[in-house]
């Protein structure tokens, strides 16, 4: 189900089965814990490569913050539509960012990151790009599977 969201709103990632778009107030989301690890910077490189192939340019200067399930409306991740900020669920992110974590989890994290950067670029869920269709068999691109084997 596709529902248009306000251009300046914050769009939930829609990562839970059956969830529809909902909107959160960006002012209510935490911005005091930006994540600036090398892994996040490498994810940005992967996202730029992925979107470059589609001719999509997410806004530069991505900022990644951690939030609780409650803060993120029960979602894995939230992105600023047309902005540059991303919020990841802290507990899930911590597990998936662990270098010793399973490759599949890291590949999913990579896919979610690219998905959220797509929202930053102004794209909505199910907007015609495979990565914007969470839950589809081809959601995780090969570039993320490759990334997961080395991070």
Number of residues that bind Zn ion (CB under 5 A): 3
Residue with smaller CB distance to Zn ion, 44 or 125: 125
- d(C-alpha 83, C-alpha 9), whole Å: 9
Binding segment (CB under 5 A) for Zn ion, from list 12-20, 27-35, 64-72, 86-94: 12-20
**DSSP 8-state code for residue 58:** P
13 is an interface residue for Zn ion by CB under 5 A: yes
Which residue in 64, 132, 137, 133 sits closest to 97, CA to CA?
A: 64
Q: How far is the CB of 53 from Zn ion (least distance, A)?
A: 19
- d(C-alpha 65, C-alpha 79), whole Å: 10
Residue with smaller CB distance to Zn ion, 32 or 96: 96
Q: How far is the CB of 99 from Zn ion (least distance, A)?
A: 26
What is the CA angle 103-149-109, rounded to 5?
Answer: 50
9 is an interface residue for Zn ion by CB under 5 A: no
Torsion of CA 71, 137, 56, 118, to 10 degrees: 0
Strand 85-89 relative to strand 77-80, pairing: antiparallel
| Cβ atoms of 50 and 143 closer than 8 Å | yes
Binding segment (CB under 5 A) for Zn ion, from list 14-22, 58-66, 68-76, 93-101: 14-22
Q: How far is the CB of 54 from Zn ion (least distance, A)?
A: 16
Binding segment (CB under 5 A) for Zn ion, from list 13-21, 81-89, 94-102, 137-145: 13-21
Interacting positions 110-139 with Zn ion (CB under 5 A): 125
- Report, in angstroms and rounded to the nearest whole number, the Rg of the chain calculated over CA atoms: 14
Choice from 9, 10, 14, 123 touching Zn ion (CB under 5 A): 14
Residues that bind Zn ion (CB under 5 A): 13-14, 125
């Amino acid at each position: 189900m596709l529902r248009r969201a306000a251009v300046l709103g914050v769009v939930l990632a829609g990562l839970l089965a059956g969830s529809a778009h909902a909107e959160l107030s960006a002012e209510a989301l935490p911005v005091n814990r930006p994540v600036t690890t090398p892994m996040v910077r490498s994810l940005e490189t992967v996202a730029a490569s992925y979107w470059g192939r589609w001719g999509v340019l997410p806004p530069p200067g991505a900022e990644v913050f951690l939030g609780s399930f409650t803060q993120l409306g029960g979602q894995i991740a939230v992105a600023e539509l047309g902005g540059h900020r991303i919020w990841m669920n802290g507990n899930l992110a911590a597990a998936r960012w662990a270098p010793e974590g399973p490759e599949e989890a890291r590949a999913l994290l990579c896919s979610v990151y690219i998905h959220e950067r797509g929202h930053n670029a102004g794209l909505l869920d199910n907007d015609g790009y495979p990565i914007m269709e969470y839950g589809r068999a081809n959601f995780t691109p090969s570039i993320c599977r490759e990334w997961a084997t080395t991070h």
